[in-house]
Amino acid sequence: MPDALYTSDGDQLVPGPLTVGPWSPDAQHGGPVAALLARTAESVPAPGPMQLVRLTVELLRPVPLRPLSVSATVSRPGKKVQIIEAGVAVDGVEVARARALRIRTAPVDVPAQAPDPASPPPPQDPTRPPANSVRTAFAEAVDLRFVHGGWDELGPVTMWTRLTVPVVAGEEPSAMQRTTAAADFGNGVSRILDFDSHVFINPDLTVSLSRVPVGEWIGFDVVSRLSEEGYGQAESLIFDPIGPVGRAVQSLLVESR
Sign of CA dihedral 134, 139, 144, 147: negative
Return d(Cα 194, Cα 198) in angstroms, integer: 6
- 152-186 b/e (C-beta count within 10 Å ≥ 16 → b): eeeeebbbbbbbebbbbbeeebbbbbbbbbbbbbb
Residue 130 has pLDDT above 80, yes or no: no
Which of the four pLDDT bands, split at 50, 70 and 90, describes residue 23?
confident
Structural contact between residues 215 and 240, judged by C-beta atoms closer than 8 angstroms: yes
Q: Say what the pLDDT of residue 131 is.
A: 58
Domain ranges of the chain: 6-106+133-256
CATH 3.30.70.1140, domain 6-106+133-256, yes or no = no
Residue 132 has pLDDT above 60, yes or no: no
Q: Say what the pLDDT of residue 136 is.
A: 83
Outline where DSSP puts E strands in the chain.
Answer: 6-9, 12-15, 50-59, 69-76, 81-90, 93-104, 142-148, 157-163, 198-201, 204-209, 218-226, 231-239, 244-256
Once rounded to an integer, what is the mean pLDDT over residues 236-243? 98
pLDDT in tens, 55-114: 999 999 999 999 999 999 999 999 999 999 999 999 999 999 999 999 999 999 999 989
pLDDT in tens, 182-191: 999 999 999 9
Q: Is 64 exposed, middle or buried (0-12, 13-18, 19+ CB in 10 A)?
A: middle
Q: Say what the pLDDT of residue 156 is.
A: 97
Once rounded to an integer, what is the mean pLDDT over residues 13-31? 95
Q: Closest Cα to residue 32, out of 53, 6, 52, 12?
A: 6
What is the rounded average pLDDT for all residues in the chain? Answer: 94
Q: Say what the pLDDT of residue 86 is.
A: 98
Which of the four pLDDT bands, split at 50, 70 and 90, describes residue 133?
low
